[in-house]
Each structure stands twice: as C-alpha cells, then as structure tokens.
Amino acid sequence: MINKLKRFFTINYEGIASARIINKYDNLSMSNQNTNIDKELNENGFVNLGNCGFSVDVISEKVKYIFDSKDNSESSIIAIKHPFLIDKDISKFLSIDKVNETIINYLGNDATFDRMWCYRVTTESSKSDVSGLWHHDRVGKRIKMFVLLHDIDESRRPLVYAKGSQKYKLTNNSYSKSRGNTDEMEKKFNNNITKLIGKKGDLVLIDTHGWHRASWEEGLYFRDVLSFEWSSYSKSVQLEKFNLPIGIKKELFFSEFNPENTLMKLGKLEVNGKYKIYGSKKNVLPVNTIDAIDFL
C-alpha cells in the first residue's frame, strides 16, 4: 500500500513539475514567434508544405526493400536504425530553407533538430493501443515532419489530428493524462478531426502537442514514412530528468555530410571513422528494428 501511494505521488509530482516547465518555455516561444509564422500551422497544428523539390523515388524503394526483408506477420510497427545511412539524399531534408524557416518561426530561435525515425506501420497493425490511442507526446510544442514515401489516402493509415488542439496548457503531464478514450475524444473534437493525407514526397509538419492518433484500423495498407523532430533546445535540457521523448538523440551520418544550413547543434556532431555521430543519448526505437548498416 505504501509503495502504491509513493508511486502515485511520484507520478503526479513529475507530471505537474514537467507541465510547469513545458508551459514556461512554450509561453516564451509564443512571445518570440516571428510575425511570418505559418498561419495554417499556427491555427490548426499542422501544415502540408507540399513537395520541396526532392524526389523520394529512390529513398522510397530502398526503404521498402529493407522493410520487406523482415517478416512483418506479427508486428504492428517496425523501424530502421541509423536511418540517415539508407540514402545520402535523406540528410538534404535538414537543410530545406522553407522547412527551417517555418520551424524557427513557430518554435523560436533555439529550435534544434533532435532525431529522425524511419518506420513502417504494417498491414498487420490492428491495435488501438500506444500510438493508436488519442494522445499528445508529453513534450509540449514540438515539430515533427513526415516525409511521405508514397501517396497517403484513407487506406494508407493517415495520421488523425484534432485541429487546433495544440492550443492548451498542461496541468498534469503524467502518461495517463496524455491518453484519451476514442469515443470521448471524437465527441469532444467533433468536426475538428482531420486525416492528414498527401502525395508522395509531401512534407507534413505537425505540432505533437496537439491530440492525434495513428490509423490502426484492421484491413488498411502499410505506411512507410521518414519522421524528423525539432524542439526548443533549452526546453529539452530542462526536461532531461523526466525521461521524456525530447532532445538530441544519437544519429549516424555519412562522413561527407555537411551540417551547414541545418538546425543541428554543431557542437553535438563529431567525426568517428567513416561516420559523423550526432548526439550521444540512445535513440529508443521499437523492439522490431532493422539496422541500415546491414544494407550498405
């Protein structure tokens, strides 16, 4: 009984303490927002910037080949470790002026690249748990950019987002408070629920503070995506002790990668043999992972 009470108070203390930090830094970023802020992103919590000039055909085929090499029959999601090593062109997405300007205008001048995921929501996925539940990411304002590796319509498991739901302050940031019952959430947001569809190569930016969920419904096709994340560096440092999914995580780049014109912390990048290593903290991935190094 004592241990249960201790756990209860610890969870709520951490939830309230982290919420205060998030609100503090998010309020600061709002006061420092550039007047050129993207209106759609600001109002809705998401924006599709369209194709910014890069073909993803080769990247898409390489990603598909890697994922198809694994038995997906019992997996709902699989990821690729060291995703920047899939193809050298992937790192170009970090230096797109339009993307970086949009992110700085929204998050503030200390907006920093944290990590990138490459994952597949599989055809076998049929669970409304974890990301399939309505949730926010427990880190406050944070930009995630999806690079669509094929056309995404309602049959391709689009992200479901509640428009405008990013405009709220946290009171308790515990895990349980960040998840919502499907019926209650859909009743609450009613006509503001949108499925984020798009064309192959589109860049879709979302604020993960808004309420969203993955499309888990049975019978849908798989979805492959690159997922980049940026956050306020100062906020991420303050949240380190809470073990939240924010801040710079370890990524490998090819040695010739040029970090100029990106939002990376250059002091966190070092050369190590034939690779450049960004950050030192482990990038926690799903259990089902494939290492891109094995395909070089």
Position 7 scores a pLDDT of 53
pLDDT digits (tens, 9 = 90+) for 255-276: 999 999 999 999 999 998 899 9
Global pTM value: 0.93
Quote the CATH superfamily of domain 2-295. q2cbj1_9rhob like domain (2.60.120.620)
Q: Which residues of 243-279 are buried (b: 16+ CB within 10 A; e: fewer)?
A: ebbbbbbebbbeeebebeebbbbeebbeeeeebbebb
- Average pLDDT of the residues in 133-162: 93
Tell whether the model's pLDDT for residue 206 goes beyond 50.
yes
Position 217 scores a pLDDT of 64
Band of the pLDDT at 11, cuts 50, 70, 90? low
Of 130 and 19, the structure prediction assigns the larger pLDDT to 19
Tell whether the model's pLDDT for residue 218 goes beyond 80.
no
Band of the pLDDT at 172, cuts 50, 70, 90? very high
